Amino acid sequence: MRKKAKVVKKGELYFPNQEFKKRALIKDKAVYRKAAKNPVKFWEDLAKEVNWYKKWKKGFVHKPPYFQWFVGGKINITETALERNLKTRRNKLALIWEPEPVTERARYFTYYDLFREVNRFANALKKLGVKKGDRVGVYLPMVPEAIISMLACARIGAVHVVVFSAFSSKALQIRLQDTKAKVLITADGYYRRGEVIHLKQNADKGLKDTDVKKVVVVKRVDNEAKMRKGRDLWWHDLVKNESDWCESAVMDSEDLLFILYTSGSTGKPKGCCHVCGGYTVQANFTAKWIFDLKEDDIFWSTADVGWITGHTYGCYGPLLCGSTFIIFEGAPDWPTPDRWCDIIEKYGVTTFYTAPTAIRMFEKYGIDLIRRHKLETLQVLGSVGEPIDEAAWKMFFKEVGKERCLLVDTWWQTETGGILITSLPGVGPFKPTFAGLPFPGVKADILDEKGRSLPANKEGNLVILPPFTPGLLRTVYKNPKKFLKTYWADYGKKIYFTNDSALKDKNGLIRIVGRVDDVIKVAGHRLTTGELESAIALHKDIIECAVVGRAHDIKGEVPVAFVVSKKKKPVKKLEKEVIGLVRQEIGPIASPSKVYFVRDLPKTRSGKIMRRILRKLFTGEGLGDLSTLANPESVDNVRKIIQKSK
């Protein structure tokens, strides 16, 4: 077992100890200097370390706002994620699947096992008529077949569109309709907190009015799932006679690898398009360097595969690095609050990547529960999904990491494809509430509204400068106008605006303050007010509504809805119907924690609802200048209703 030594603390900063630095993949700041000197050459040098059929002709081409990386290069991500590992890691464990029921046996896949399963399913997809460029919907829980599906699509050049299994049938339908997916992969059901979730039923509803011709169903819970003859096919029947060899499709570096949807400001989700070459390079090196992944590491990211974290660090990244990684079907606190501790100790997890929501949940159950576990194998902790508060950071560091594990806080987005801001474990420094430094080769800055770079400790808009990063989205699927308006309109077409506000300290460490648009992060999952409001507005008795995020001890934020109803008095039935609509249109995770029925919403004279004011009614902050409101009296009315409901 590796020698354990405490992290070095200097003032408010934390650094790796000498023992850790000696074995770290990146040991000093020389890599930052090299990358800053010529970022394009830096990424090109990294790209040489993944498998290519044909080398690129030009590293970076920029025609603002559009750009390309490794132009002319030919690649398939599975050649690096699978084939390359067969040479030296054929019998090494690639994937460990831990089911929710503790009585059920785990499943283990070596790199050779996984390679064969991917090829079998890739051949099955081809027989279903899936061709290069076709979109394939993946609506699966955290089971090995989710990973196999993604890799099989990539193998044959199909574009996977993964939809979070807890999303509603309506959310699934929107994504299937937008992409015109011809095949959907789902399951009969899955376990969640001891209950069986009947996923196939949701899938069937979501298939209405889509182009899906075939549905592949994984038998997970063996319930009585209805199978439509000629359309629905069992996974096990499809693959049982398939060859375990399938030739990988030769993909252009800029060919589409996957589409993953993230919330849109107008209620319609945005399909972020990620491409083969740049994503492969970025996923490989961010996973390897940020988590310091070596041959003997066991990596566990708790993120669902339906989110970008599950894509990059719960599938592609660990495989590209030749690592062993875990996926877990259930909730980390089920059936006992310390199930997550049991998993860490059962498999000897060395790197544990989770969300502040989970960290706060661990603390809620009591520190004594954590202290019962030694968690001796842990070396690196990671935080993802939302800014982590100081109390949660220190608890995670002290009680889970035992003050000897490096804690990498990470900032990135669905749009960026991989982590862009963090401190490297072998370098540091680490500072509570600060994500860290831009990843080598990434140029980030904080600008004011006029595009001027701000000094230390001044809050402004976080931007990414050319040459950006190879894994950044190339467009919004079928909506180039949305792509331009959302990311490139504020500072001209040469600067990517993250839509996050941030500041940096005197050391250059960046702290993410929050979203500058109306986005709520519920348990690390990004939802926009527009998306929730669109769902609520479907109710026939609702005149208008506004949704804001309210701080929550466990989830970070929860949605709160302010509703103007045609009915004179608020009624419990109407509140129940509003919450039900949100659950139906988006999913349970988006459910408002409270619905307030108000006479009017604070608005400007131009009719814009002032959500900023509604948020501040919960925080106790000063409301600021109300002179721009057309109806200032509405603020007191809303305040009284909030106070009355406490």
User: How do residues 103-157 score in pLDDT, each as one tens digit?
Assistant: 999 999 999 999 999 999 999 999 999 999 999 999 999 999 999 999 999 999 9
Question: Which domain does 574 fall in, by range?
Answer: 519-645
515, 540, 555 — which closes off a domain? 515
Same domain, 510 and 523: no
d(C-alpha 376, C-alpha 313), whole Å: 23
Same domain, 444 and 533: no
d(C-alpha 620, C-alpha 455), whole Å: 28
pLDDT tens column, 506-547: 999 999 987 776 678 887 787 777 778 888 988 988 888 899
Residue 547, both tokens: 């949704």
Same domain, 500 and 542: no
Same domain, 467 and 363: yes
d(C-alpha 301, C-alpha 95), whole Å: 12
> Would you place residue 605 in the very low, low, confident or very high pLDDT band (cuts 50, 70, 90)?
low
Same domain, 570 and 473: no
515, 547, 570 — which closes off a domain? 515
Q: What is the CATH number of the domain that holds 567?
A: 3.30.300.30
Return the amino acid letter for 608: K
pLDDT at 505 over 70: yes
**546 closest CA partner among 496, 613, 630, 490:** 613
Is the N-terminal amide bond of 65 cis, ω within 30° of 0?
Answer: yes
Q: What is the mean pLDDT of residues 325-353?
A: 97
Query: Exposure pattern of 154-168 as b/e (b: 16+ CB <10 Å)?
Result: bbbbbbbbbbbbbbb
Q: What is the CATH number of the domain that holds 377?
A: 3.40.50.12780
> Would you place residue 463 in the very low, low, confident or very high pLDDT band (cuts 50, 70, 90)?
very high
**424 closest CA partner among 32, 9, 22:** 32
pLDDT tens column, 30-60: 999 999 999 999 999 999 999 999 999 999 9
**462 closest CA partner among 510, 428, 419:** 510
Give the contacts of 234 (CB within 8 A, at least 6 positions apart): 216, 217, 219, 227
429 falls within a domain: yes
* Total count of domains within the chain: 2
pLDDT at 91 over 80: yes
Same domain, 507 and 574: no
Residue 383, both tokens: 């935080």
Number of H helices, E strands in the chain: 22, 33
Same domain, 309 and 395: yes
Same domain, 282 and 340: yes
92 falls within a domain: no
460, 489, 515 — which closes off a domain? 515
Q: What is the mean pLDDT of residues 56-65?
A: 98
Contact 151, 198 (CB under 8 A): no
> Would you place residue 1 in the very low, low, confident or very high pLDDT band (cuts 50, 70, 90)?
very low
262 falls within a domain: no
